[in-house]
A and B are shown apart, each in its own frame.
Chain A
Amino acid sequence: MAIVEHLYPLTGAVLVGLGLYGFLTLRHPLRQLLAVNVVGAGIFLILGGLGRGADSTDPFPQALVITGIVVAVALTAFGAALILRVAEDERAPDGTAADDTNGNHP
């Protein structure tokens, strides 16, 4: 039965769709960051789930997933810090915001 052996990677596909929906509809950057992490988890589940053999999972995709998880946390950490700094900047009391976007960008 295809569905049974594809259970985890299919769950991954659903997570990719769910995460994307969250990313598109949640208008707060921190919530979007969370949504992107859900998409990433879905991709990892596809990668690992399709590497399932008779009684073990291919160590190669496992290693790729671990690498992917570490890259994801590094980016999430930077993203969270960036979101925080933008929020601090916007709430700077006297308009001394360091954000010197020059020019008018439509």
Chain B
Amino acid sequence: MTLAFDLILCLMIIGTAASALLMRNALAAIVFFIVFGNLLGLAWLAMDAVNVAMAEIAIGAGVTGVLLILARQRLMALGDDLVCDEMPGWLRAGALVACAGFAALVGAAVLSVAPSDDLGGPIAALMPSLGIENPVTGVLLAFRAYDTLLETFVLLGALVAVWSLAPGTAWPHPPATLALTEREGHGVAAAFGRLLLPLALVMAAYLVWTGSDLPGGAFQAGTVLAGGLIIAVIGGAVLWPRGDNRLLRVALVLGPAVFLTIGLAGIALGRFLFYPPGFEKALIVAIEYSLALSIGVTLALQLAGPPVTPDHKG
């Protein structure tokens, strides 16, 4: 990539971020945030970090964007117009000076560090022993599998936390439906949803498989699956399940449980999260497939929000 490209991209990233923060209209702000996330994905691509680019576009821009749009729509329905109280000018000026100073400090600290890929070498040296070729997957599922294991429990815990917010009479009813306001839109979504869900499944399976050697992996695949589920729900092809649905609970814990079980089984061979030689790839792929399914269902239900009492109009 040329310097001019990098420079323009960075300016656009800063510009869209500023718009996302400064626009008075909340919807415009969220749209700018989504554009911002996609530009960031482009920046990650420019840095040859394809795995991160996929995660940023799918999760950082995609899921977070949909979350914010849904939240805004539901807040508007409650009569909250998302208008921020005007802060006194001097306070804003003070905040501006303080934040500019802070950014300058962080910038100076950044400039004092020379960019380098110090761990790239040691990781590349260890990759052949894993039998997979994508070093990012290697870090996520082997060298720092412990981090990733805990992270999957954060994701699961976040859904339980969302559910815990259910109003008194709502549990264990399903979350509010995601209805499109226009009729034609609904028809399109219905057809699209039936078509897209199987497609998303195939795509997710492919992303996990390719993730061992090429960019991809459980988190990106899970997001694709979540996207398919959301479209299917909007189109009415799938209904949100009740919170106490047995099958749902199994789907949610499958990934974390498989991960934890393989980790505990490692103890018999020496260490927690130890993969026996020769089985590394098989175990990593098994963890990733189950994780992708659980992440997909978890993300979709997080987007759906807390359960609502049945007479509630979503």
The interface of chain A, by Cβ under 8 A from chain B, is 2-22, 24-28, 30-31, 33-35, 37-38, 41, 44-46, 48-60, 62-67, 69-78, 80-85, 87-88, 91, 98
Contacts and interface: CB of A to CB of B under 8 A. Distances in A.
A34 B47 CA distance: 25
B60 A41 contact: yes
A91 B76 CA distance: 12
A72 B256 CA distance: 18
B178 to A, nearest CB: 14
A59 to B, nearest CB: 4
Contact of B47 (A22, A52, A60): A52
Contact of A28 (B6, B83, B144, B299): B83
B210 interface: no
B148 interface: yes
Contact of B59 (A9, A16, A69): A69
Pairs of residues from A and B, 3 with the lowest C-beta to C-beta distance, nearest first: A17-B103, A53-B117, A22-B21
10 contacts: A8-B6, A11-B43, A18-B17, A31-B84, A41-B36, A44-B56, A56-B117, A66-B140, A72-B60, A73-B64
B3 A4 contact: yes
Nearest to B151: A67
Given A15-B14, A18-B99, A24-B99, A76 B111 contact: no
Given A7-B6, A30-B68, A60 B29 contact: no
A60 B26 contact: no
Contacts of A51: 115-117
Which of A12, A25, A58, A66 is packed against the most chain B CB atoms within 10 Å?
A66
Which of B30, B103, B151, B162 is packed against the most chain A CB atoms within 10 Å?
B103
A13 B103 contact: yes
B139 A91 contact: no
Contact of B118 (A45, A58, A71): A58
A51 B117 CA distance: 5
A20 to B, nearest CB: 5
Contacts of B269: none
A53 B51 CA distance: 16
What's the dominant secondary structure at chain B's contact region? helix
Contacts of A45: 40, 43
Contact of B139 (A4, A30, A38, A60): A60
Interface of B: 3, 6-7, 10, 13-14, 17-18, 20-22, 26, 29-30, 33, 36-37, 40, 43-44, 46-49, 51-52, 55-56, 59-60, 63-64, 67-68, 70-72, 74-75, 78-80, 82-85, 87, 91-92, 95-96, 98-100, 102-104, 106-107, 109-111, 113, 115-120, 123, 135-136, 138-140, 144, 147-148, 151, 154-155, 157-159, 161-162, 165, 167-168, 217, 219, 299, 302-303, 305-306
Nearest to A47: B52
Contacts of A12: 110
Contacts of B104: 17
A71 B157 CA distance: 11
A105 to B, nearest CB: 21
Nearest to A26: B84
Contacts of B80: 87
Contacts of B103: 13-14, 16-18, 20
Given A34-B68, A85-B306, 20 more contacts: A7-B10, A11-B14, A16-B102, A18-B103, A22-B21, A25-B92, A27-B84, A30-B82, A31-B82, A31-B84, A41-B36, A51-B116, A53-B120, A57-B117, A62-B139, A70-B151, A72-B64, A73-B302, A74-B157, A81-B165
